[in-house]
């Protein structure tokens, strides 16, 4: 069955249905993951532009999500509170089993943690991030695993990090390995393992403990609230057994590749970096395009395994290199300092041979490294859209003393 869904227009703050005659394809969209508050927005209220929404916690959340998505070029976002008509039982039956695919097909998932204060360090053992109730909810398992790209925000909508940059912490909290979190796992995942991800998690409705597993298990069944948790799990097991019979495979195994669909090509758009025009521009596997006055740098790869390098220097000849690339279904970045020379190809070889670091396998999309004299350099990759194209937006922050010197292909 073709995927159908409603999306919230980030400019008009109105819900639209896809596909439609005007838009036969579902557009790229962001998606929200959160815990419901006391006053959330409904589908009817959004469409009616209800005056009572103004100033409410739920509506402010909607507006902030739209602002975030729009700032990186997304015209649409999916928010469960207002993109599902919960008064329509048929729609609920169709939507709940499809939610895994909604999250899987999203370009970026904004995860809002209302119980994590500003300044909290997720790496600390007693951090509020580690004890956030978001990690205790049943539905949020698929909202963590399914999207390729997840960004966490605290209660003040300040970015905490991403699923990739916080993979070690998130793995410790959830028990889900980094390889699975980042879809780098090429084998099979047993039903037992997937059930373990959601073990001891809470749901508002008892039946949701079973319903929230449908997407993870690759099954679908009608939603029957009030049937009880035991009956819901009984029907869930029946669907698992049916799936096994139909596919003639072991019911305890699951091929992760069924939801690891390769992304279509992206451009890398460097929108913030030290000034300067590169004295050397190497266009090989990584295709660099530099606009006049270096207002914009675009980088396009031939596919998974490729990367590009930007080298920066100061007047004393000290250098650092920012590397970004694509590996499997994710992006990765690294910052190299104390370079022996300014040969980009030599540095690329070090990455390819694994002598520099394991950055290609770690898929970190955030890096901060200390430089000389108390300075530091930071690199962040964000997903967005530019000029109708999917894009990774690159921000590189360094001291004023550095300028762009060379660009070229990595590994």
pLDDT in tens, 216-234: 888 889 899 999 999 999 9
pLDDT of 368-397, one tens digit each? 988 887 888 999 999 999 888 888 899 998
**Domain 267-409 CATH assignment equals 2.60.270.20:** yes
Q: How far apart are CA 6 and CA 46, in angstroms?
A: 12
* Beta-strand pair 15-18/30-33: unpaired
Say which residues have a Cβ less than 8 Å from residue 89's Cβ, sequence separation at least 6: 223
Q: Answer for the pair 274, 377: CB distance below 8 angstroms, yes or no.
A: no
343 Cβ contact partners less than 8 Å away, ≥ 6 residues apart: none
pLDDT: which is higher, 314 or 72: 72
CA nearest neighbour of 342 among 394, 253, 270, 279: 279
Write the pLDDT tens digit of every residue in 70-101: 999 999 999 999 999 988 888 888 888 889 99
Q: What is the rounded distance in angstroms from the CA atom of residue 130 to the CA atom of residue 134? A: 10
Closest among 95, 98, 70 to 82, alpha carbons compared: 95
DSSP state of 133: G
Query: Does the pLDDT of residue 262 top 60, yes or no?
Result: no
- Three-state DSSP at 112 gives strand
Q: Tokens 């916080």 sit at which residue?
A: 166
30 has a pLDDT exceeding 60: yes
Helix and strand numbers, DSSP H then E, in the chain: 13, 18
Look over the chain and give the mean of its residue pLDDT values, rounded to a whole number.
86
pLDDT of res. 307: 80
pLDDT for the residue numbered 155: 97
Q: Is the dihedral of CA 36, 202, 100, 173 positive or negative?
A: positive
Q: What is the mean pLDDT of residues 251-271?
A: 58
DSSP letter (8 states) at residue 333: E
280 contact partners, CB below 8 Å, separation of at least 6: 344, 405, 406, 407, 408
Distance CA 276, CA 290 (A): 11
pLDDT of residue 149: 93
- pTM of this prediction? 0.88
| Structure confidence at residue 346 (pLDDT) | 85
Q: Which residue would you say has higher pLDDT here, 344 or 13?
A: 13
Per-domain residue ranges of the chain = 5-259, 267-409
Question: What's the pLDDT score for residue 158?
Answer: 97
Beta-carbon neighbour count of residue 291 at 10 Å?
Answer: 9
Residue whose C-alpha is closest to residue 314's, from 379, 397, 404, 375? 404
CA dist 163 and 167 (Å) reads 5
Percent of the chain with pLDDT over 90: 45
Nearest Cα residue to 190 out of 239, 257, 253, 256: 253
- 331 forms bridges with which residues in the sheet? 326
Residues 6+ apart with CB under 8 A from 249: none
- Across the range 197-208, mean pLDDT stands at 91
């Amino acid at each position: 069955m073709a995927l159908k869904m409603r999306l919230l227009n980030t400019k008009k703050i109105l819900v639209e249905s896809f596909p439609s005659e005007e838009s036969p394809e579902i557009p790229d969209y962001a998606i929200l993951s959160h815990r419901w508050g006391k006053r959330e927005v409904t589908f009817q209220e959004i469409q009616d532009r209800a005056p009572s929404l103004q100033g409410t916690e739920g509506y402010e959340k909607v507006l902030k999500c739209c602002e975030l998505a729009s700032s990186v070029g997304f015209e649409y976002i999916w928010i469960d509170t207002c993109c599902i008509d919960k008064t329509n039982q048929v729609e609920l039956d169709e939507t709940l089993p499809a939610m895994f695919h909604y999250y899987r097909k999203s370009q970026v998932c904004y995860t809002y943690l209302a119980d994590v204060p500003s300044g909290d360090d997720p790496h600390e053992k007693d951090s509020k991030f580690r004890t956030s109730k978001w990690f205790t909810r049943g539905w949020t398992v698929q909202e963590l695993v399914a999207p390729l790209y997840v960004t966490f925000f605290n209660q003040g909508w300040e970015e905490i990090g991403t699923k990739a940059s916080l993979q070690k912490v998130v793995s410790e909290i959830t028990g889900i390995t980094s390889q699975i979190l980042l879809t780098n796992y090429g084998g099979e995942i047993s039903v037992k393992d997937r059930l373990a991800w959601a073990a001891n998690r809470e749901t508002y409705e008892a039946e949701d403990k079973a319903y929230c597993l449908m997407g993870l298990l690759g099954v679908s069944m009608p939603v029957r609230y009030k049937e009880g948790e035991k009956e819901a799990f009984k029907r869930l097991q029946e669907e698992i057994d049916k799936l096994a019979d139909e596919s003639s495979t072991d019911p305890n195994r699951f091929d992760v590749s069924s939801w690891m669909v390769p992304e279509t090509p992206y451009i890398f758009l460097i929108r913030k970096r030290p000034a300067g025009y590169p004295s050397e521009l190497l266009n090989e596997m990584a295709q660099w395009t530099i606009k006049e006055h270096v207002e914009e740098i675009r980088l396009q790869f031939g596919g998974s395994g490729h990367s590009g390098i930007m080298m920066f220097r100061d007047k004393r000849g000290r250098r650092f290199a920012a590397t970004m690339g694509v590996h499997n279904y994710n992006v990765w970045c690294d910052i190299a300092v104390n370079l022996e020379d300014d040969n980009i190809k030599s540095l690329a070889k070090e990455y390819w041979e694994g002598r520099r670091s394991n950055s290609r396998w770690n898929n970190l999309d955030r890096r901060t490294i200390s430089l000389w004299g108390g300075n530091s350099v930071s690199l962040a990759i964000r997903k967005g859209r530019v000029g109708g194209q999917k894009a990774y937006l690159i921000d590189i922050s360094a001291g004023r003393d550095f300028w762009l010197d060379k660009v070229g292909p990595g590994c």
